């Protein structure tokens, strides 16, 4: 792999690790907000806990899974694992819907993946 593309591949892995960390941070913030709201409502007796827990889990579980998948895939891509390229293509397609920032990240990731398609060597120094 050319040095220039190695640099771009490293940048993609860093961006995806940061994006995955932001997903996990958003999940933690939503958990905190949910706990505070649930605590406030249970004190007044105005909330049914089962629908609130189900709704929160429905939102948080995919958010955590996508965040962890971003981080694991970025680390594997940086290490040169073959399966990470397929996972990055899938994540890129999913990120296309996250307008505007996710779309830009997805297009950049696809460009890097397309230009490094024949190289399976490790990206790290």
Alpha-helical runs (H) found in 45-120: 49-79, 83-95, 101-115
Domain boundaries of the chain, sorted by first residue: 3-115
Q: Can you state the angle between helices 83-95 and 3-44, rounded to 10 degrees?
A: 60
Helix axes 3-44, 101-115, angle to 10 degrees: 150
- pLDDT per position as a tens digit, 48-93: 666 767 777 888 899 999 999 999 999 999 998 989 999 999 999 9
Both tokens of 111, joined, read 């460009």
pLDDT confidence bin for 122, thresholds 50/70/90:
very low
What's the confidence (pLDDT) of residue 3?
75
């Amino acid at each position: 792999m050319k040095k220039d593309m190695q640099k771009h591949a490293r940048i993609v892995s860093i961006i995806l690790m940061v994006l995955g960390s932001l997903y996990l941070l958003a999940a933690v913030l939503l958990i905190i907000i949910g706990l505070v709201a649930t605590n406030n409502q249970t004190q007044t007796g105005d909330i049914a806990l089962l629908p609130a827990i189900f709704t929160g889990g429905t939102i948080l579980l995919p958010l955590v899974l996508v965040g962890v998948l971003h981080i694991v895939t970025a680390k594997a891509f940086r290490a040169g694992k073959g399966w990470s390229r397929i996972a990055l293509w899938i994540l890129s397609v999913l990120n296309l819907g996250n307008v505007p920032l996710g779309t830009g990240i997805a297009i950049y990731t696809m460009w890097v993946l397309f230009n490094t398609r024949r190289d399976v060597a490790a990206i790290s120094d």
